[in-house]
């Protein structure tokens, strides 16, 4: 089972989860693409806070 397959399985199993794939980033997406990572985290936290 690949990483994306595992991520898709977890996404399907967790109510309210959001699966985001950041192009060009791997396991260290917060370091490899910090602006995109932070924007996605902020967007998600705002969406669940309403």
Q: Which residues of 1-32 are buried (b: 16+ CB within 10 A; e: fewer)?
A: eeeeeeeeeeeeeeeeeeeeeeeebeeebeee
**pLDDT, tens digit (0-9, with 9 covering 90-100), for 2-13:** 666 888 999 999
**pLDDT, tens digit (0-9, with 9 covering 90-100), for 1-50:** 566 688 899 999 999 888 999 998 988 999 999 999 999 999 989 988 76
CA distances from 32 to 27, 29, 39 (A): 9, 5, 14
Q: In terms of pTM, does the model score above 0.75?
A: no
């Amino acid at each position: 089972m690949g990483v994306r397959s595992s991520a898709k399985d977890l996404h399907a199993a967790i109510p309210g989860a959001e699966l985001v794939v950041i192009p060009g980033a791997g396991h260290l997406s917060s370091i490899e693409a910090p602006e995109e990572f932070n924007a996605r985290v902020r967007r998600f936290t705002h969406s669940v806070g309403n």
